Amino acid sequence: MSLTDIRTPNPKNFIAGSDGDWEIVIGMEVHAQVSSKAKLFSGASTAFGGDPNSHVSLVDAAMPGMLPVINGYCVEQAVRTGLGLKAEINRRSVFDRKNYFYPDLPQGYQISQFKHPIVGEGEVLVELKDEEPVTVRIERIHLEQDAGKLLHDQHPSKSYVDLNRSGVALMEIVSRPDLRSADEAKAYLTKLRTILRYLGTCDGNMEEGSLRADVNVSVRRPGGEFGTRCEIKNVNSIRFVGQAIEHEARRQIDLIEDGGTVDQETRLFDPKNGETRSMRSKEEAHDYRYFPDPDLLPLTFDQAFVDAIAADLPELPDEKKARLIGEYGVTPYDASILVSEREIAAYFEDVAKGRDGKTTCNWVINELLGQLNKVGTPIGESPVSPQQLGAIVDLIGEQVISGKIAKELFEIVLAEGGDPREIVETRGMKQVTDTGAIEKAVDEVIAANPDKVEQVREKPSMVGWFVGQVMKASGGKANPQAVNEMLKAKLGVE
């Protein structure tokens, strides 16, 4: 397969070497577990955990005479994912056997799709702050079986095999080598995860292994010929993807600059020391001897099947983002945060309907998400409901409370719950707009600080200090705009 380069080298991504700059080239193979109840070719459960070998049918254990029967729902989810990545759908695909021996693979082969995958070329739009969006080409998506799990720490000379995961449906999503930095790779995986979660085809839970990435890394002189790549297997967090790439690129650059060459090999990332290491000491060229699985006929479906899935697609992150910018006037960057989870965008829209989009956006992102992220609560379980946050935004808009008091009010609602309007009433948090009361406070501050009054005539910006003093005296409840105007009049500054 010939590799094409669609990127223009960006000096921002270059890595300085001892005799010139280097550029990293990254492609990814992401394994996304299909969110199905049963496995790809058997009726055993896909539930995470479970006692050893309790979610295993005789098919998954590769007992003689057992035959695979495909799960239609998994086929549908692969097509759905393909449509979500604007990819071509292959109405005829073929399952092949990928042959190799390992204790986590009872069949001695993995049922996968080699020559004719179910989904062909698509794309993912990747955005980084303050940079041009990058279109990452998807080469293909194919359906395949997951392997079992090995435990190595239970016994001095034995490995323990649990086949609960064996046969679970995976979508392998293969990208072209279109990524040029660790940040781009992280953004790509984040975006892919968001799309999968919108589609509902994979839960994206990386801790439970529902989403894992094999990262292909090579280095080259900027814009030059592609270098030899190493594949870092099974990286299971977005942060680790970044670390693994940084380390691997550095290793390859050092190796080449010392006169060596990079061997094409499989490597493992060790999160403990942030390094990658060679996975197979006596690397034998893999010979998987793929051939069509004689137990399975070609997978075919008609256009109506595809059309029905297409008609049922949700609004996807890119479209939602464009709509939020247009409808609510939020910035592209804020919009990308709002659409990062379907639930965040839904919450935002609940609050923003009939209110000021920008103010609502600031409250959702800075206050609500800020607080929720601190304690690790998902927005779906937010202690502050959209109605409550909406009331706070209304109170600011009606000038009943100042922005500063609003933050206090938010803290109270977050900690204790309750109706924001009632809280403002009962706790006397209303903004003081009574000019008599404000004037009294203003006069007191002016009388108490004759030296500052002198200075403010020289330096009008010092009026801010007076505003602060008056606000403090009023317990933050004076209307800051009214205070500002009155002070300027009394101090005679513009």
471-477 long-range contacts (CB < 8 A, ≥24 apart) are 471/404, 473/441, 473/444, 473/445, 474/432, 474/437, 474/438, 474/441, 476/402, 476/404, 476/405, 476/408, 477/402, 477/405, 477/428, 477/429, 477/430, 477/431, 477/432
The answer to whether 316 and 123 are in contact (CB under 8 A) is: no
Q: At its nearest, how many Å lie between other proteins and the CB of residue 275?
A: 15
Q: Which is nearer to other proteins, 71 or 237 (CB)?
A: 71
Q: Which is nearer to other proteins, 158 or 374 (CB)?
A: 158
Listing DSSP states for 423-484 in one string gives HHHHTT---B--HHHHHHHHHHHHHH-HHHHHHHHH-GGGHHHHHHHHHHHTTT-B-HHHHH
* Chain residues in the site for other proteins (CB under 8 A): 36-38, 42-45, 51-59, 61, 69-75, 94, 99, 101-103, 150-152, 154-163, 268, 279-280, 287, 289, 292, 294, 296-300
Looking up tokens 């099947």, which residue turns up? 305
Q: Which is nearer to other proteins, 300 or 331 (CB)?
A: 300
Q: Which is nearer to other proteins, 2 or 157 (CB)?
A: 157
Give the C-alpha distances (Å, rounded to integers) separating 78 from 40, 170, 202, 314, 344: 11, 9, 10, 15, 25
Q: At its nearest, how many Å lie between other proteins and the CB of residue 299?
A: 5
Q: Collapse the DSSP code of 391 into the 3-class scheme (helix H, G, I; strand E, B; otherwise coil) and give the result.
A: helix
Q: At its nearest, how many Å lie between other proteins and the CB of residue 93?
A: 10
What's the first-to-final CA gap in the chain, in angstroms? Answer: 71
Identify which of 187, 197, 205, 188 has the alpha carbon closest to the alpha carbon of residue 84. 197
Q: Which is nearer to other proteins, 37 or 472 (CB)?
A: 37
Q: Which is nearer to other proteins, 14 or 305 (CB)?
A: 305
Helix (H) or strand (E) holding 73: helix 72-84
Q: Which is nearer to other proteins, 102 or 226 (CB)?
A: 102
Q: At its nearest, how many Å lie between other proteins and the CB of residue 259?
A: 29
Non-local (6+) Cβ contacts of 486 within 8 A are: 435, 438, 439, 442
Q: Which is nearer to other proteins, 159 or 377 (CB)?
A: 159
